[in-house]
Chains A and B, each alone.
Chain A
Amino acid sequence: MFSFRDKEIAKGIVNRIKELNVHAKFMHVCGTHQDTIVKHGLDDLLRDCGIDITQGPGCPVCVTTPLEIEEAMQLARAGKIITTFGDMIRVPGSCYSLMEMNSQGYDVRAVYSIEDAVNIAKLNKDKDVVFVAVGFETTAPTTASVLLSEPPCNFSVLCCHRLIPPALKAILDMGEVRIDGFIEPGHVSTIIGLNPYRFISEEYHVPQVIAGFEPLDVLIGVYMLAQQVKNHESRVINEYKRAVKPDGNVKAQRIIKKVFSKCSVKWRGFPVIVDSGLSLRRGFSEYDAREVFSDDLEEVYSRDYAEPAGCRCSEVLRGLCSSRDCPLFGVECTPSHPVGPCMVSVEGSCQIEYRYTVR
């Protein structure tokens, strides 16, 4: 449909970035951006121009906490049918993954959409079906839409949705890593629009560009950031205008507000981030797996869950190190035998690095 891979244009943009002579470190928070950057070798190309790009906490599966994974496992042990997106079932928990529970006889099913999970509930009326709802603002409205359509009473949601702007604020407040600009996630932005990012530019004076996912989108996004750095500006620029409207998807925002309220939650690799999570409003408590199955879950909350030994996913997610800095990368930790979530998810930086650069 569109042609955003023109080599000549790409060369021209790279030359323009070089001419700016800006040395900067930019962060993006989206696995799909990381995929484009590594697949097309843009990271090396941009490093030669003085620009370092790193992935932050932009993989929903990766930032889901060990406790949330244990909650899902506990509900599987209690005899519920657990449904969730494919990558989630492969994330190692304290003993094993949800997928391994399947081979032990528990009922865990990967689904493409929450609507598939509802259909499973309709077909299994004698069983409880729990959907583990992970994902950012892009995915939250799909959960909201289903809950507003009166799903069957044997269906419930283990809500693990998170919000991107509070995580950006947390990264800046923690101050562990230099960030001269953010490449904002295009698909989250189709929902939330431009306004929720503005405080980052206004209060923290960090330039931002909402970018699409083709190589030219990323290159022009970097150029727009570098230009702002050069001119000492900090604005939110929308490069992905073909998909992101200034106000976002108002319909989706409305149903998110109707179904969820904001809550403060921990992210893997991070402490509790204020107002960065979504929980179901009281009116939807009959679909809230944490409410409905509180007795089954009680045991899970009495324990602490450590990160896998030697795994540096927490630091990768905070942009403190790259996948290759982890001693487990490509040795003990591979896509077929992942130790940490960043090697599981197709949006995890370790998986992407392995997929495109390990021969």
Chain B
Amino acid sequence: MCLAIPGKVVEIDRDGQHAVVDYGGTKRVVNVSLVDVKVNDYVLVHAGFAIQVLDEKEAEETLDLFRGMLSSEGV
């Protein structure tokens, strides 16, 4: 129920309410009225709605943090 799947926005409808999201090859129309998105953004989709835009920079920083804690004193 609270499962959310990341996908890439490949097309936004004219009404701005829906977008085509690509989940690694499978495409579905998703309601994007809860977020501000643009093409090429990654979004988390839950029950047919994008609920948040994923931040790639934060993802990289989190991974760096993980790697860093192995070679330093901790997080």
Interface on A for B, CB 8 Å cutoff? 1-4, 6, 8-9, 12-13, 16, 30-32, 58-61, 85, 87, 112-116, 134-136, 138-139, 141-142, 145, 185, 187-188, 190-191, 216, 220, 223-224, 227, 239, 241-245, 249, 251-252, 255, 345-347
Contacts of B69 in A (CB 8 A): 12-13, 16, 220
- CB atoms of B35 and A142 under 8 A apart: no
Q: Taking A1-B42, A4-B63 as contacts, is the C-beta distance between A347 and B49 under 8 angstroms?
A: no
- CB atoms of A145 and B63 under 8 A apart: no
- CB atoms of A142 and B2 under 8 A apart: no
- CB atoms of B70 and A138 under 8 A apart: no
Q: Taking A9-B66, A224-B75 as contacts, is the C-beta distance between A185 and B2 under 8 angstroms?
A: yes
CB nearest to B24 among chain A residues: A1
The smallest C-beta distance from A239 to any residue of chain B, in angstroms, reads 7
CA distance A13 to B65 in the complex (A): 11
- CB atoms of B51 and A138 under 8 A apart: yes
CA distance A241 to B69 in the complex (A): 17
- Among B2, B52, B65, the residue within 8 A (CB) of A243 is B52
Contacts of B3 in A (CB 8 A): 31-32, 187, 346-347
The smallest C-beta distance from A313 to any residue of chain B, in angstroms, reads 16
Instruction: Judge whether B39 is part of the interface by a CB distance below 8 angstroms.
Output: no
- Among B46, B59, B65, B75, the residue within 8 A (CB) of A142 is B46
> Which of the listed residues B1, B33, B56 has the most CB atoms from chain A within 10 Å of its own CB?
B1
CA distance A114 to B56 in the complex (A): 29
Contacts of A345 in B (CB 8 A): 1
- CB atoms of A220 and B75 under 8 A apart: yes
CA distance A244 to B6 in the complex (A): 13
- CB atoms of B66 and A142 under 8 A apart: no
Q: Taking A1-B42, A185-B2, A216-B66 as contacts, is the C-beta distance between A242 and B55 under 8 angstroms?
A: yes
Contacts of B56 in A (CB 8 A): 1-2, 242
> Which of the listed residues A115, A134, A136, A227 has the most CB atoms from chain B within 10 Å of its own CB?
A115
Q: Taking A31-B2, A61-B1 as contacts, is the C-beta distance between A191 and B31 under 8 angstroms?
A: no
Contacts of A251 in B (CB 8 A): 34-36
- CB atoms of B33 and A145 under 8 A apart: yes
The smallest C-beta distance from B25 to any residue of chain A, in angstroms, reads 13
- CB atoms of A242 and B59 under 8 A apart: yes
CB nearest to B46 among chain A residues: A138
- CB atoms of A241 and B58 under 8 A apart: yes
Contacts of B67 in A (CB 8 A): 9
- CB atoms of A243 and B54 under 8 A apart: yes
0 or 1 for each of B38-49: is its CB under 8 Å from A? (1 = yes): 000010101111
CA distance A58 to B1 in the complex (A): 10
- Among B4, B35, B36, the residue within 8 A (CB) of A138 is B4
The smallest C-beta distance from A185 to any residue of chain B, in angstroms, reads 6
- CB atoms of B47 and A85 under 8 A apart: yes
The smallest C-beta distance from A349 to any residue of chain B, in angstroms, reads 14
